[in-house]
């Protein structure tokens, strides 16, 4: 079996665009992947056809290590764009492998090892600004069945926070905790905003509200600074969504700079690479919660990984707070019910692209919404009711 065709489908989802991939083989099988990289999809699409297409056409989809390993070796410059290209193709190859074997991908990755797979909600706080508004949105999350939610209470903070800014951030977390009760997990998102002293100071003020974790409190580019924050705070630290290579994750796990590792399968090299990262984390007793802020194919791939990976504890979910047509992009199953993920059915990923829906929502250019510009709060969190959180 050889790959004979590569197609890309660029489509709009409100504040984001999604880039889907479809590979076709000489036996007639098709495999789908996703190469969405928020606000860089056209660039990724160009690179797929400019650089990766000649490497994937004619390849045996079972040759993951040779084909994908070769791409990782040969890409030379590194970074999120090329790793997203590689990851999207790798996911599509696994879909082909599963279909050829008549097995769901999670069975090929090690088999189901969890009885249940809980979700935490993200994207739910669009338009919220005051503590009262955050609390009202949080009650809706619980009403949907979620027992965990993530949010960024820090406004447009950058490096340091004034005393009023810090009081407001703490008040938002306090209001959410009061609204949802003590049993619901609260993940506090930092988006890499803060300096080490500021992150430690605000982290200590958040301790009474028992955060499940404090995510990316400082720049993701310095694991040493992250380790300093972890050493100073008793609450769990989460990070890893903006790391892209196995070597990055080896450094993070060796330093034990985080308690929860959040590789993004659509950016770190794909499913086989994610399993290698999981092994690095396992030997350091680091939990996994894969990042996924993009479309349904990427989420589906993450779910197959989650069901087959013992140290995964919870999976991020934007699906309930995405555009209304999100689930229409694919034929298959709705993966979420009452705050829990369902086991993927069928061979491969278990879903297929709906090309009519992709065509009905053409690409729309967006500039990156700066989280440190007050305009993003108004223009991006209220215009479509979806927060561009990561």
The question of whether 49 is a catalytic residue gets the answer no
CA of residue 173 relative to chain centroid, distance: 23
3-state secondary structure of 129: coil
**Beta-bridge mates of residue 186:** 149
Q: What is d(CA 201, CA 345) in angstroms, rounded to the nearest whole number?
A: 46
Residue closest to 386 by CA, chosen among 11, 13, 12: 13
Catalytic residue among 291, 304, 327, 361: 291
Residues paired with residue 151 on neighbouring β-strands, in sequence order: 188
**What are 59's two structure tokens?**
């390849």
Cβ within 8 Å of residue 296, ≥6 positions away = 34, 319, 326, 327, 329, 330, 335, 351
Strands (E), 80-199: 119-121, 148-151, 185-189
Q: Give dist(CA 67, CA 97) in Å, integer.
A: 14
Tell me how far CA of residue 28 lies from CA of 5, 25, 100, 142, 216, in angstroms.
Answer: 10, 5, 10, 44, 44
Taking the CA atoms of 275, 279, 284 and 287 in sequence, report the sign of the dihedral they define: positive
Rounded-to-integer distance, Cα 144 and Cα 183, Å: 15
The answer to whether the CB of 263 falls within 8 A of the CB of 238 is: no
Q: Which of 49, 114, 191, 304 is catalytic?
A: 191
Active site residue 291: yes
Q: Give the Cβ contact number of residue 62 at 10 Å.
A: 15
Cβ atoms 206, 188 nearer than 8 A: yes
Cβ pair 265, 315 in contact under 8 A = no
Please state, as a whole number, how many other Cβ atoms lie within 10 Å of the Cβ of residue 11.
25
Q: Which residues are catalytic?
A: 191, 291
């Amino acid at each position: 079996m050889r790959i004979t065709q590569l197609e890309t489908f660029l489509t709009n989802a409100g504040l984001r665009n999604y880039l889907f991939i479809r590979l076709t083989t000489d036996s007639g099988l098709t495999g789908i992947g996703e190469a969405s990289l928020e606000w860089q999809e056209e660039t990724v699409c160009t690179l797929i056809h400019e650089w990766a297409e000649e490497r994937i056409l004619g390849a045996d989809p079972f040759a993951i290590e040779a084909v994908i390993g070769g791409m990782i070796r040969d890409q030379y410059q590194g970074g999120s764009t090329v790793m997203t290209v590689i990851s999207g193709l790798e996911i599509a190859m696994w879909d082909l492998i599963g279909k050829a074997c008549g097995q769901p991908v999670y069975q090929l990755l090690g088999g189901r090892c969890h009885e249940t797979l809980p979700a935490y909600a993200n994207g739910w706080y669009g338009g919220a600004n005051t503590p009262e508004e955050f609390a009202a949105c949080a009650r809706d999350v619980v009403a949907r069945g979620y027992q965990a939610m993530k949010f960024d209470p820090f406004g447009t903070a950058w490096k340091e926070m004034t005393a009023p800014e810090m009081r407001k951030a703490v008040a938002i977390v306090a209001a959410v905790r009061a609204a949802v009760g003590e049993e619901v997990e609260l993940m506090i998102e930092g988006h890499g905003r803060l300096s080490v002293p500021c992150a430690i100071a605000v982290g200590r003020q958040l301790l009474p509200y028992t955060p499940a974790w404090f995510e990316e409190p400082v720049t993701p580019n310095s694991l040493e600074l992250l380790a300093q924050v972890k050493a100073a705070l008793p609450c769990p630290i989460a990070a890893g969504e903006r790391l892209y290579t196995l070597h990055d994750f080896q450094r993070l796990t060796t330093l034990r700079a985080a308690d929860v590792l959040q590789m993004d399968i659509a950016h770190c090299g794909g499913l086989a690479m994610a399993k290698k990262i999981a092994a690095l984390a396992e030997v350091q007793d680091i939990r996994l919660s894969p990042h996924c802020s993009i479309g349904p194919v990427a989420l589906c791939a993450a779910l197959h990984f989650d069901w087959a990976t013992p140290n995964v504890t919870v999976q991020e979910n934007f699906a309930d707070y995405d555009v209304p047509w999100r689930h229409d992009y694919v034929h298959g199953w709705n993966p979420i019910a009452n705050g829990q993920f369902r086991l993927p059915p069928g061979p491969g990923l278990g879903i297929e692209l709906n090309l009519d829906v992709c065509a009905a929502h053409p690409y729309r250019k967006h500039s990156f919404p700066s989280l440190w510009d007050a305009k993003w709060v108004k223009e991006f969190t209220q215009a479509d009711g979806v927060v561009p959180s990561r």
